[in-house]
Amino acid sequence: MKVLILGGDGFCGWPTALHLSQVGHDVTIVDNLSRRFIDVELEVESLTPIRPIHERVAVWKEHTGKSIGFISLDIAREYDRLVAVLLELRPDAVVHFAEQRAAPYSMRTPATKRYTVDNNITGTHNLLCAIVESGLDVAVVHLGTMGVYGYGWSGSAPIPEGYLTVHVSTPDGAIEREILHPANPGSVYHMTKTLDQLLFAFYAKNDGIRVIDLHQGIVWGTETPETGIDERLINRFDYDGDYGTVLNRFIMQAAVGHPLTVHGTGGQTRAFIHIRDTVRCIEIALDNPPAKGERVSVFNQVTETYRVRDLADLVSKLTGAEIAYLPNPRKEAADNDLDVTRDRFLALGLNPTMLGEGLVEETKGIGVKYASRADFSKIVAKTVWKAGMEVAPDLMR
């Protein structure tokens, strides 16, 4: 299958590109390298020493003989080139990772709020519009987020996969409807993914675009079998307060001797998935697109749920690291339960990688190996959801 991977240089995109190439797809990465530019802006780097994109694809070719194309293109700003790329390559599918994906960054400043909305919405809409203009039948696999659902909305009912059955009273008695699950995003970033859903629904209805929207949990881990082939293929590892994800931050903090930073009570339950399963889920999604004219197909791309403070306790127990409870810079509930339906990927053969000592150790290995690259002044989360909220000072220098 010929696949374009938008955002194929990023944390999820790069291992996905390698995995899809490995299993035999003809892969081309489209990326504007925005994530690397944001590293420059935030004055922080991936803990792992990622190589330039041209070197990455050359090393992949060297080891496997497989070519991955690379096109430097901003889908939100270069619409005409996007159409030209579609018409030239005529892909069977596009995997769309090309969105600003950090909630804290999306709340950092007016400029980053606006960048997140402009980049994500204009980019997604340009993609849909370009596919219609091209006249091609290109399936779209999009990375959504569990955060579109919000947390704790539906009482004891597990969060369904995209669509919720509701009953509505009418003068003629109650009627049943299946609706897109009501949106309750917790940041500008999450909000953009709720807007994306409406873009997809419209273009599926009006133009018959085939879309799979994957509502992913928090990704942890770094390496996949493919990124582990050569150090020059290594995936990025973010540990800073804006881009670092909670479990990877704990593991890295333990490795470098920093207290585990729990912002708030840690009573929030969140959904998780290992990066190895992310790439496998994308592969499965590509093999199972909706038929033309069907509604958007939604999967919950999640394998486990954990309460944040339980994760901290687990990592603390495994490593001896202490836990620091810091002010919460987010506006969110102090506690929530979370039960997520995740049947669709399991039914299609996903064999999940569960959180266990071995995997934590593997990831910790990266923390230890690259500890000297860490900047302790970037660890404590400083981005507040609203002006005036309290932030913690740095814990180590």
Q: Which two tokens stand for residue 178?
A: 């299946």
Residue 356 CB partners (closer than 8 Å, separation 6+): none
Q: Nearest distance from residue 241's CB to its own copies, in Å?
A: 19
Residue type, 303: T
Asked if 372 touches its own copies (CB under 8 A), the answer is no
Selected range binding its own copies among 56-64, 158-166, 212-220, 315-323, rule: CB under 8 A: 158-166
Catalytic residue selected from 193, 227, 245, 269:
193
105 catalytic per annotation? no
The helix (run of H) or strand (run of E) holding residue 4 is strand 2-6
Q: Nearest distance from residue 114's CB to its own copies, in Å?
A: 6
Sign (positive or negative) of CA dihedral 235, 238, 243, 245? positive
Selected range binding its own copies among 89-97, 109-117, 217-225, 358-366, rule: CB under 8 A: 109-117
Residue type, 115: Y
Asked if 295 touches its own copies (CB under 8 A), the answer is no
Is 168 or 291 the residue whose CB approaches its own copies more closely? 168
145 catalytic per annotation? yes
- Give me the residues paired with residue 258 across strands: none
Q: Nearest distance from residue 381's CB to its own copies, in Å?
A: 17
3 state DSSP class of 314: helix
Selected range binding its own copies among 19-27, 130-138, 247-255, 319-327, rule: CB under 8 A: 130-138
Q: How far is CA 1 from its chain centroid?
A: 23
Catalytic residue selected from 151, 189, 239, 243:
189
Residue 228 CA to residue 369 CA, distance in Å, equals 14
Q: Which two tokens stand for residue 141?
A: 């696999």
Q: Nearest distance from residue 121's CB to its own copies, in Å?
A: 6
Selected range binding its own copies among 14-22, 197-205, 265-273, 345-353, rule: CB under 8 A: 197-205
Binds its own copies (CB under 8 A): choice among 24, 40, 65, 156: 156
Asked if 358 touches its own copies (CB under 8 A), the answer is no
Is 110 or 358 the residue whose CB approaches its own copies more closely? 110
Question: x/- site string to its own copies, residues 318 to 347, per CB under 8 A?
Answer: -------------x----------------
Binds its own copies (CB under 8 A): choice among 56, 125, 142, 280: 125
Binds its own copies (CB under 8 A): choice among 130, 204, 212, 350: 130
2 catalytic per annotation? no
Size of the site for its own copies (CB under 8 A): 53
Catalytic residue selected from 48, 145, 222, 305:
145
Asked if 182 touches its own copies (CB under 8 A), the answer is yes
b/e sequence 180-214, b meaning 16+ C-beta within 10 Å: bbebebbbbbbbbbbbbbebbeebbeeeebbbbbb
Q: Nearest distance from residue 74's CB to its own copies, in Å?
A: 14
DSSP 231: G
77 exposure class (CB count in 10 Å sphere: 0-12, 13-18, 19+): middle
Is 114 or 369 the residue whose CB approaches its own copies more closely? 114
Selected range binding its own copies among 58-66, 173-181, 282-290, 296-304, rule: CB under 8 A: 173-181
Asked if 147 touches its own copies (CB under 8 A), the answer is no
Residue 107 CA to residue 314 CA, distance in Å, equals 29
For the residues of 43-88, what is the DSSP string, one character each? T---SS-PPPHHHHHHHHHHHH----EEEE--TTT-HHHHHHHHHH
Query: In this structure, are residues 35 and 10 in contact, taking their beta carbons and an 8 Å threshold?
Result: yes
Is 149 or 370 the residue whose CB approaches its own copies more closely? 149
Residue 313 CB partners (closer than 8 Å, separation 6+): 323
Whole-number Cα distances in Å, 118 to 73, 77, 185, 383:
16, 10, 17, 20
Give catalytic residue positions: 145, 189, 193
Residues near its own copies (CB under 8 A): 79, 83, 110, 113-114, 117-118, 121-122, 125-126, 129-130, 132-133, 135, 153-157, 164-172, 174-175, 177, 179-180, 182-183, 185, 188, 191, 194-195, 198-199, 201-202, 205-207, 331, 385-387
